[in-house]
Structure 1
Amino acid sequence: MDFQFYFKKMESSEALKLLARKKLTDQLFKIMGTPSKVHLTFFVEGNAQSAHCSITTRNGTKLYAEATSDNMYNAIDLLCHKLFAQVQRCKTRVLSKQKRRFPQIALLNTESAEATNDEYAIDAGDIIKMEAALRPYRERFLN
Structure 2
Amino acid sequence: MSQLFDFLHAYIDYIILGLLAFMSFLLVWFVIERFIFLSRVNVAKYENIHQLDIDLNRNLTIISTIGSNAPYVGLLGTVIGILLTFYELGNSGGDIDASAIMLNLSLALKATAVGILVAIPAMVCYNGLNRKVEVNRLKWQALNGTHHTGE
User: TM-score, normalized by length of structure 2?
Assistant: 0.32
Q: Which has the higher helix share?
A: 2
Q: Which has the higher contact order (CA 8 A, sep 6+)?
A: 2
Structure possessing the higher radius of gyration over alpha carbons: 2
Q: Which has the higher strand share?
A: 1
